[in-house]
Structure 1
């Protein structure tokens, strides 16, 4: 399926309900490699990505269960399985880290560059019929989570990025009209 850039931008949606089909590791790696052409000041490419596919997904699910579902041990198997679907139905994961420069200007530029990188990945995945969801749960800063990702002291985990196949995309929510966010200089 080939789509134009405009079509990909207008039609891409964050997928919240995946169908459980695994996404091949090579497809994820190709998307992440192509996404590296995102604009980034000074060609710093300040991102680092930890990928979980195939047999590594079980370890990710365990970690997410421990961090995201309080008192999961007290839940029935059925309730736990239902709550875990938001994690277990994704077909692959990419956890995105950014180097935190001590200089504010560079830190902001780097965060913007990683955001562009992730948008590229979303559009590239969409073109292949793979959905994504960029999540920023509170546990990204949890020491146990950082340790699992081998995050360095000067790195910030900024995204839990899910890849997966889906049966239905969520309809688009309305956007602001152009006149609501663009004004002419000097007006």
Structure 2
């Protein structure tokens, strides 16, 4: 299915409930490669991606369980399984790191560029029938998480990006009217 850019922008939704079907690592890598055409000042391409797909998924799940679910050892098997659904039903992961330049202007440009990159990822995945969800859980700055991703001191982890297939399309949430966020320039 080929969508127009307009259709992809208007129809794409963040998927919060995946169906558990794995996404092929090659599909994820293809999307990540195509998304690199995002606008980025000076062609710095300030992003680095750590992919968890295929045989790496159980390792990702274990890491997330240990970081995201406090005192998971104290939970019943059923309660732990319920908590883990938000992690185990995604079909692949991409953890996004961005270079943190010491200069504020460049740091802001690089974060904006990485955001454009991730929007490209979302739209390209949507075109292929793959849902995504861009998450920013509190553990992204956890030293154990940073160590697992081999994050460098000059890198910031900005996203836990989930890929997956889904059975039900979430309803669109209401957006502001144009007049609520656009005003005309007056001299």
Residue of structure 2 equivalent to 1:168: 168
Q: Which runs of 4+ in 1 moved over 4 A?
A: none
Unaligned runs of 5+ residues in structure 2 are none
What secondary structure does 2:96 align onto?
Answer: strand
Residue of structure 2 equivalent to 1:143: 143
- Within the alignment, does 1:38 sit opposite 2:54 as a pair? no
- Which aligned pairs between 1:5-84 and structure 2 lie closer than 5 A? 5-84=5-84
Residue of structure 2 equivalent to 1:125: 125
2:81 and 2:117 map into 1 onto residues whose CA distance is: 32
What secondary structure does 1:36 align onto?
Answer: helix
Residue of structure 2 equivalent to 1:153: 153
Unaligned runs of 5+ residues in structure 1 are none
1:44 and 1:54 map into 2 onto residues whose CA distance is: 30
Give the alignment's TM-score, normalised by structure 2. 0.99
2:17 and 2:98 map into 1 onto residues whose CA distance is: 27
What secondary structure does 1:129 align onto?
Answer: coil
- Within the alignment, does 1:3 sit opposite 2:34 as a pair? no
Q: Would you say how many aligned residue pairs link Structure 1 and Structure 2?
A: 187
1:184 and 1:92 map into 2 onto residues whose CA distance is: 43
2:75 and 2:55 map into 1 onto residues whose CA distance is: 25
